[in-house]
Amino acid sequence: MDSQPPSIKSRSKLSHIISEYSDIILGIIFSILTYYFYITNNQVLSVLSIAIAIGSFSLTVAEITDILADRFEEPYASFVLTFSAVIVEIVLLFMIILHTSDSTQGLETVKGGIISAVIVDMNVLLGLAILIGGLNYKEQEHNKDTSSTYTTLLLVATSALLVPSIINYTKDSQKLFSASVAISILLFIFYIFIFIFQTKTHKEFFRVEGKSRFKILQKKAKERARKKRENIQEEQDEDYIFEKFPSSLNLLAIFIFIFIIGVLAETFAKNGMVLAKEYGISAGLAGLIIAIIAVSPEIMTAIKAAREDEIQRVVNIAMGASTVSIMLTVPILMMLSYANGIELTLDFNAFQVGALLLTIILAWKTTDNGETNYFEGISHLMFFASYATIATLYN
């Protein structure tokens, strides 16, 4: 018989709901606060609360995609995670394009957001995960073919972005736009070949090469955790609702939350750009803030993977998301902009392209031997801190 009084059982159930669904609860609360601050003309708090709401719902998307990822093997598991994050990024950036199409500052913010998404993925996400994983396990092993392949792809993609930037010096706007369209098409075609490479011909490049010395202990720990969860479920008959959903229903849930994020992003773009102009926030810093909001759920997923000694998954997420950010975000934003009569060009400034190239070189050096340690994580975070400092001051 259950000896717990009804009041204790009720509190336990409430605690479970708050714990499991805190991201959705926070998203709803801050969405309501956004509306309140908007009607009371408190623009600063309105933008801040809507950023938290977007981040909270993005975390929900990441958690659902993490459930889907557990049902697939690599590289498909990482694909699910990276695509969901990139969709959020595209939604945020496109809303800014729509609301600031007549503003140079707005379009520069979008360009900064594209570059910053890669910078955040490759330095904050990868750096934090390697740092935390390194502190827990001293060294972690991954398939060096993964990082070698991704850094090559990113180097080629970044080099392609140099073309419109160089043509920009000719001061011919028509040539610049034509070059931007051509490069976006080439990037999309290149990604089709990459997708085939990852999923068909060279899948082994994106899986763990062998079991690290921690894997046996990790497997036992996971088994104990699984049994413990099963016992808790039997006693309480409670579980995260999305765990019970079939994959098709979870995909529907993801689209619903992304739609909500899109609605919120429209208000964020409208108010956020006004606020940025009012307070003199640089386009680089504004783009960086957008990137952090979009990537934050991925960061938490990567940290969780690093703690469980799944550094291969971290590398797949960080570098895979960076690849998709350039090769899919750019063409899709170009297409959406053109469809709405907006001329988006890919003339990134020297600071952005330089930071992107240095990031790829750093990632190549820290992952090329198939092992990572906490010092390499610190190196990535140090690079990001330097980039953020310059982005704040650079106009």
pLDDT, one tens digit per residue, over 254-285 is 888 888 888 888 788 878 877 877 877 887 88
User: Could you tell me which residue, 111 or 235, shows the higher pLDDT?
Assistant: 111
Express each pLDDT in 297-308 by its tens digit: 788 888 888 888
Lowest mean pLDDT of 13-27, 239-253, 301-315, 362-376, name the range.
13-27
Residue whose token pair is 């690599």: 74
Which pair of tokens denotes residue 47? 């933008």
CB atoms closer than 10 angstroms to residue 204: 13
Kindly give, in sequence order, each residue whose CB lies less than 8 Å from that of residue 358, ignoring residues fewer than 6 positions away. 383
| Per-residue burial over 58-79, b = 16 or more CB atoms within 10 Å of its CB, e = otherwise | bbbbbbbbbbbbeeeebbebbb
Q: Over the stretch 89-120, which tens digit does the pLDDT of each residue have? A: 888 888 888 877 666 777 888 888 899 999 99
For 380, phi and psi rounded to 5 degrees?
A: -65, -40
Token pair, residue 177, equals 């736009």
pLDDT at 217: 41
**6-393, superfamily in CATH?**
NCX, central ion-binding region (1.20.1420.30)
- E strand residue ranges, the chain: 139-141, 371-373
Residue 314 above 60 pLDDT?
Answer: yes
Q: How confident is the model at residue 221, as a pLDDT?
A: 43
| Amino acid letter for position 79 | F
Assess contact for 79 and 316: CB atoms under 8 A. Answer: no
Query: Across the chain, which distance is largest between two alpha carbons, in Å?
Result: 82
Q: What angle do CA 125, 129, 135 make, to 5 degrees?
A: 150
Q: Cα 11 to chain center, whole Å?
A: 35
Average pLDDT, the chain: 80
Question: Rounded to the nearest 10 degrees, how much is the dihedral formed by the CA atoms of 67, 71, 77, 81?
Answer: -20
Structure tokens at 162: 């140099």
Q: Is a pLDDT exceeding 80 seen at residue 18?
A: no
Distance, in Å, from the CA atom of 62 to the CA atom of 207, rounded to the nearest integer, reads 21
Minimal CA–CA distance to 96: which of 263, 295, 255, 272?
272
Looking at residue 132, what is its pLDDT? 92
